[in-house]
């Protein structure tokens, strides 16, 4: 059976060119970047090349790039780091109700540490209203954190405008760009970003490595203490192969972005239009146009998302009901809840997330399979539900 991977928001297949660049750093150039000998210098140079590539992709300088273990750690360092370092100025943080748990749970933690956190609402398509941010800003606000694009429904936020509002109010601006790197252009200076989180495994790099870009002059308190690597902001022996992979992946991702985005948009639109036009009781979640090039997120009446994902898996399609982090829990998605989707309606969710490796043929095969699967699952739904009684 042919297998099709439509779960690229969870993680992506590594690009072979990335893997090849990483390989020597496992068994030939395996030095510790802090060592003085030639092995150490090789590792150090490799990290610095990756730092240059990362900085270039984000419009930053090399001194502004801090390598971490991934998106989660970058979000923690940004939020905890900025909040604890700026406590003398204020104790107010603003974020949104539909951030990834790496941001939300960190903000909950900050709430337990004496900070006040405001959770901005989003509209029915997942957009933050800049006027809401203006109203929420106070003299005490030290950090605003809004994701560049949502991992479940793909809605893209007006980051530049939100960043400008944060700055006008004297606050720092952080964005979780884990889902948008190599899909949306970014330049931290013109986009008014002080802190930006990225994660290599979302753009065809390795898992377990990410970066936080920290604009010059931004004060952060470390989350991890130790040997003082990464200018004291992230101690621990550097993950050299991972960092090399991140650098290569971001370089490829950004230089090939135009072509790969155009391909993904064409496939995404075929999936959206084909599904909505051929099936009754099927809706698109998130914004129709302000949406990631690789995201199609549906809601089906009278179908359980888990049953849909399992049935599709049996036909060779890897999909998801929402975020990979929440799919193993039976809880309603906080993202759909923030969009105002009723819990009973959010149960039939299906996310298709693409990468540059997907093809139009795969989309056509999916469209050939989905109708029959949905019809079969609906025929098994309790009669009361089918007649609208439950
Ligand atoms: N932020 C967003 C928006 C994500 O989608 C994810 C992962 O799904 C993360 C953060 C966490 O990244 P990582 O898996 O690298 O810790």
Rounded CA-CA distance 300/43 in Å is: 50
pTM score > 0.85 for this model?
yes
Instruction: Please indicate whether residue 72, judged by its CB atom, sits closer than 6 Å to ligand 1.
Output: yes
4-11+256-386 topology per CATH = 3.90.1150
Mean pLDDT of 326-339: 76
Q: From the alpha carbon of 102, which atom of ligand 1 is closest?
A: 10
Query: Are 209 and 239 contacting, i.e. CB atoms less than 8 angstroms apart?
Result: yes
Is 325 an annotated catalytic residue? yes
pLDDT at 327: 46
Residue 250 pLDDT more than 70? yes
Pairing between β-strand 116-120 and β-strand 92-96 as defined by DSSP bridges: parallel
Residue 385 pLDDT more than 70? no
Instruction: Please indicate whether residue 353, judged by its CB atom, sits closer than 6 Å to ligand 1.
Output: no
Mutate to test the pocket of ligand 1, among 198, 202, 249, 323 (most ligand atoms within 8 A of CB): 202
pLDDT at 4: 98
Closest CA to 219 of 243, 195, 199: 195
Q: How far is the CA of 178 from the centre of ligand 1 (A)?
A: 6
Q: How far is the CA of 140 from the centre of ligand 1 (A)?
A: 28
Helices and strands counted in the chain (H then E): 14, 12
Spans of all domains in the chain: 4-11+256-386, 16-255
Write phi, then psi, for 186 (nearest 5 degrees).
-145, 140
Mean pLDDT of 13-21: 98
Q: How confident is the model at residue 332 (pLDDT cuts 50, 70, 90)?
A: confident
**366-376 residue pLDDT tens:** 999 999 999 99
**56-111 residue pLDDT tens:** 999 999 999 999 999 999 999 999 999 999 999 999 999 999 999 999 999 999 99
Q: How confident is the model at residue 390 (pLDDT cuts 50, 70, 90)?
A: very low
**147-200 residue pLDDT tens:** 999 999 999 999 999 999 999 999 999 999 999 999 999 999 999 999 999 999
Q: Which numeric CATH code is attached to 16-255? A: 3.40.640.10
Distance from chain centroid for Cα 252? 18
Closest CA to 206 of 265, 256, 250, 152: 250
Mutate to test the pocket of ligand 1, among 151, 205, 334 (most ligand atoms within 8 A of CB): 151
Q: How far is the CA of 324 from the centre of ligand 1 (A)?
A: 9
Mean pLDDT of 122-147: 98
Report the DSSP beta bridge partners of residue 294: none
Query: What's the token pair of residue 78?
Result: 């940004």
Q: From the alpha carbon of 207, which atom of ligand 1 is closest?
A: 15
Residue 331 pLDDT more than 90? no
pLDDT at 326: 47
Q: How confident is the model at residue 389 (pLDDT cuts 50, 70, 90)?
A: very low
Q: From the alpha carbon of 149, which atom of ligand 1 is closest?
A: 3
pLDDT at 323: 59
Residue 237 pLDDT more than 90? yes
Instruction: Please indicate whether residue 351, judged by its CB atom, sits closer than 6 Å to ligand 1.
Output: no
Nearest CA to ligand 1 atom 12: 71
Report the DSSP beta bridge partners of residue 205: none
């Amino acid at each position: 059976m042919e297998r099709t991977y439509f779960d690229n928001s969870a993680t992506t297949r590594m690009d072979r060119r990335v893997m090849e660049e990483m390989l020597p750093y496992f068994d030939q150039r395996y030095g510790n970047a802090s060592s003085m000998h030639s092995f150490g210098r090789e590792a150090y140079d490799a990290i610095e090349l990756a730092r240059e590539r990362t900085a270039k992709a984000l419009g930053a300088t090399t001194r502004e790039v801090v390598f971490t273990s991934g998106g989660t750690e970058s979000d923690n360092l940004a939020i905890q780091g900025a909040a604890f370092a700026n406590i003398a100025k204020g104790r107010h943080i603003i974020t949104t109700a539909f951030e990834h748990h790496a941001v939300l749970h960190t903000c909950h933690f900050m709430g337990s540490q004496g900070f006040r956190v405001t959770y901005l609402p989003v509209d029915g398509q997942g957009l933050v209203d800049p006027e809401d941010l203006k109203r929420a800003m106070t003299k005490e606000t030290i950090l605003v954190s809004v994701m560049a694009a949502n991992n479940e429904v793909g809605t893209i936020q007006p980051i530049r405008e939100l960043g400008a509002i944060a700055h006008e109010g004297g606050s720092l601006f952080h964005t979780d760009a884990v889902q948008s790197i190599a899909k949306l252009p970014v330049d931290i200076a013109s986009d008014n970003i002080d802190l930006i989180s990225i994660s290599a495994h979302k753009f065809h790099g390795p898992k377990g490595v990410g970066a936080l870009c920290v604009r010059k002059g931004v004060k952060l308190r470390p989350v991890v203490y130790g040997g003082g690597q990464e200018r004291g902001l992230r101690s621990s022996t550097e993950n050299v192969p991972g960092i090399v992979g991140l650098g290569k992946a971001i370089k490829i991702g950004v230089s090939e972005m135009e072509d790969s985005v155009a391909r993904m948009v064409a496939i995404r639109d075929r999936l959206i239009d084909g599904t909505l036009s051929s099936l009754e009781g099927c809706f698109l979640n998130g914004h129709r146009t302000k949406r990631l090039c690789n995201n199609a997120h549906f809601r089906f009446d009278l179908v359980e998302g888990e049953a849909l994902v399992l049935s599709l898996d049996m036909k060779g399609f890897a999909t998801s009901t929402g975020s990979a982090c929440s799919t193993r829990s039976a809880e309603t998605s906080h993202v759909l809840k923030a969009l105002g989707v009723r819990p009973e309606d959010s149960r039939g969710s299906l996310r298709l997330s693409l990468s540059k490796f997907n093809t139009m043929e795969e989309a056509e095969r999916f469209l050939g399979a989905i109708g029959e699967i949905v019809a079969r699952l609906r025929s098994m739904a309790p009669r009361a539900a089918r007649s609208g009684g439950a």
